Amino acid sequence: MHTSYDPSLSSQVADLIKWRFHVKHLKLGHHQNIIAINGGQHATPRKGRGMEFNEVRPYQIGDDLRHIDWKISARTQKTHTKLYSEEHERPIIFLVEQSPCLLFASKGQFKTVLAMNACAQLGWAALNQGDRVGGCIIGGDRQRWFQPKRQTKTFNGLLNEGTVQQSNITRPGQANVQAWSMALEKVNNLAHPASRIILIGDLFNLDQYAWHKLTELSRHCSIDALHLVDPLEQTLPAAGLLKLFDGTGELNLDARTHQSRRAYQQHYQQAWLHLKQKFRVINSGLSELTTAQPSLNQLLKMGWLRK
């Protein structure tokens, strides 16, 4: 007897591979544009090891003062500045959470599925434009590292690993508090200095050591992050007394009064604003990805993918 599966509840490698053709005319959005669109900040060119030197020309108003070429300026008696351009080939490293805390959705698709779809859409767009792609899946008992390569085989391996770890999640529960720290430690040791690191997951569960590693990585890599959220986490419906199960026990939520619903909403907003501020400090782009809408539409709207 053939058993069909619901694509909103679980991911299949074949479906994740199909995204390659849906995004073949799309490109990965630039790091600074994501910061500007989603963080309300001014988009300034990132200078560092991820940039390559182009030329020296006379200084113009608006040029970064840090890139004035003092030797040539002294020799010519006119201020000159160095111009840089972003390296065309940049390793893209995905760190994708597949943990029990993501086995949830009040509408749309499970967060576990949303994470894998977003990874597939962004990863195929990166490969299609000639970037090297790799990374690891976070949350299970193992963390296999896929060295960034310009090969579909490598990315297929990452997607397959994601579905394997997803299938091992049998019930909602708490995430492994050390999972992100372990992965970021590994990336810190193995990543190319000019890499672009993309985090996809809950992200509220990043511990102090994980933030320490992210701060270190941000000095020579660009970092962007997608926080997965469900509408029920943001706003409580006026539905009386609610009982939720998190895999370890029941949680009672009082949604009978406007005050209790407002307090619930403010609690999430404060946590979200705090998370945004922490990513802003390390010059990282952070966006919310909701289970209630198709991920591809959201990624286009937020500038993560561009035509």
Report CA-CA distances (Å) from 131 to 22, 135, 203: 18, 13, 25
In the predicted model, what is the mean pLDDT of residues 216-239? 91
Contact in structure between 199 and 44 (CB atoms under 8 Å): no
Contact in structure between 206 and 178 (CB atoms under 8 Å): no
Predicted confidence (pLDDT) per residue in 229-273, tens digit: 999 999 888 777 777 665 566 777 777 788 888 888 999 999 999
Q: Per-domain residue ranges for the chain?
A: 13-41+89-306, 51-86
Predicted confidence (pLDDT) per residue in 70-96, tens digit: 988 898 998 988 765 454 467 999 999
CA 31 to chain centre: 11
Predicted confidence (pLDDT) per residue in 151-183, tens digit: 999 999 999 999 999 999 999 988 888 999 999
- pLDDT at residue 302 is higher than 70: yes
Report CA-CA distances (Å) from 128 to 30, 137, 165, 208, 251: 15, 22, 26, 36, 45
Higher-confidence residue of 53 and 289: namely: 289
Residue 209 burial (10 A CB sphere; 0-12, 13-18, 19+): middle
Domain 13-41+89-306 has CATH 3.40.50: yes
AA letter at 263: A
**Which residues, including other chains, have CB under 8 Å from residue 30's CB and lie 6 or more apart?**
43, 86
pTM metric for this prediction: 0.83
Contact in structure between 190 and 145 (CB atoms under 8 Å): yes
pLDDT at 231: 94
Strand partners, 8: none
